[in-house]
A = this chain, B = another copy of it.
Amino acid sequence: MGTIYDLAKKTGFSITTVSKALNNYKDVSEKTRAKILQAAAEMDYLPNAHAQSLSTKKSWAIGVMFSEANEVGMKHPFFNGIIESFRHATEEHGYDLIFASRNLRNRDMSYLEHFKHRAVDGIVVICSDRMDEQVQELMQSDIPIVVVDMDSANCSVVYSDNTEGARMAVNYLYELGHRHIAHIAGDSSIDAGAARVKGYELAMHALDLPIQPNHLVNAGFFSVEEGKQAMEKLLQLESPPTAVFVAGDQMAIGAIEAVHEHGLRVPEDISIIGYDDIEMIKYITPKLTTIRQDTDEIGEAAAELLIEQMTAKERRTERRVIPVRLIERASCAPVKK
C-alpha cells in the first residue's frame, strides 16, 4: 500500500506537497497534483486513518452504545431498525460506526472511557434504560451525543410522539364503540412507557371515560411473557375490558396468546392494539393493529442532530419528536352489543 513517503519518493516531491495534493490544497499546481494523484492510484495508496486522526483530531467515527438489556442487543426488533437507518444516514457523511467493547485489554472500562480512548467524534445511545449508570455518564460528558428513545434536558434527543400515539390508540378503540379500555403499560422508569401511560390517561379523560385502577397494569419491560401475564390479570377481573391498548408489540403478542388460551378470540371477544409496528406482527394471527413508530425517520433525525454537533465540534441540545401513525390491521373490531 505504501505511505505518503513512498509517494513523495516516487514523484520527487516533498511529503508536504503530496499531502497537500491529496487534500486539495490550492497552493499546488494542477500539473503536480495530477502526477501525484496518478502515482497514488498506481500504487493504490490509501491514507492511514490513525495517522490522520492523530494529526487532525478528527476520527470520523461514531461510538454506539446499544441496548444491552436481556442480552438482545442487535436482535432488538425495534432498535435494530433505528440503528440501521442511522447507519445509512451517517454513512453518507463519511462516518463509521464503532461498537465498543467494555474491555480494553483485560482492564474493563466504561463506555465513555472507551469512546474517549477511541477518540470518537460523537456518540449515539440507543437504549431505553435511563437509570443505567453508563448512559448517565455518557450524557454528562462533553462529547457530542444524541440519545434515542429517551428524554433529557441536557443533550440532544429523538423519540416518537408517545403520548400522541397512545391517544390515537385509545381514540381508535373508542370510535369502535369500546368504553372499557384497559392499558397494559411498560414500566414508568422507561420514558416511552411513562409517556404512553400519560397519553392513555389524557385520552380517557378527554373522552370522559373513567379509568378503573385494575385496568391499568404495569407489565414491566416490554417482553412477550410479561404481556401475557398482564393480560391474564385482566382476564381474571370481574369486569374485564372489551379492548386493551398494549404499550408494545411484543407484549401485545403475549396478550393475544393469553386471550387465546382463555378460549377467547381476538378481535371478536376482545380488541387489542399494540405499539411499535415491528416486523413480525404482520404474520401473527390476527395481524396486529398498532401504532407505528417510524424507525427510518428516527434514525435519520438522530443522525442529523449528531452530525450537526460533530461538524460544529460542540455539544448542543435539541429535541426532536417524530410523529407516529396508526396501522389498521385485524386485531380490533367494533364492540359486541
Contact = CB atoms under 8 A, between A and B. Distances in A.
Given A74-B84, A77-B279, A224-B283, A49 B97 contact: no
Contact of A99 (B47, B87, B119): B87
A283 B227 CA distance: 13
Contacts of A74: 74, 80, 83-84, 87
Interface stretch (A102-110, A159-167, A211-219, A327-335): A102-110
A101 B94 contact: yes
Given A53-B50, A59-B50, A283-B253, A106 B84 contact: no
A83 B74 CA distance: 8
A313 interface: no
A207 interface: no
A279 B278 CA distance: 12
A46 interface: yes
Contacts of A116: 1, 46
A91 interface: yes
A141 to B, nearest CB: 11
B119 A49 contact: yes
Given A53-B50, A74-B80, A280-B279, A98 B97 contact: yes
Nearest to A104: B94
A189 interface: no
A118 B99 CA distance: 14
A84 B73 contact: yes
A141 B323 CA distance: 46
Interface string A33-56: 000000000001011111101100
Contact of A284 (B49, B117, B284): B284
B84 A94 contact: no
A100 interface: yes
A117 to B, nearest CB: 5
A285 B118 CA distance: 47
Contacts of A47: 117
Contact of A46 (B44, B105, B113): B113
Contacts of A113: 44, 46
Nearest to A97: B99
Nearest to A62: B99
A232 interface: no
Nearest to A77: B279
Contacts of A280: 279-280, 283-284
A96 interface: yes
A94 B83 contact: no
Interface in A42-94: 44, 46-51, 53-54, 59-61, 72-75, 77, 80-81, 83-84, 87-88, 90-94
Given A46-B116, A61-B98, 11 more contacts: A44-B113, A50-B51, A50-B119, A51-B54, A73-B87, A75-B80, A75-B84, A91-B103, A96-B100, A96-B101, A285-B285
8 contacts: A46-B116, A50-B59, A74-B83, A80-B80, A87-B101, A90-B101, A91-B103, A94-B104
9 A-B pairs with the lowest CB-CB distances in the bound complex, closest first: A280-B280, A91-B101, A285-B285, A97-B99, A50-B50, A73-B84, A50-B53, A50-B54, A74-B84
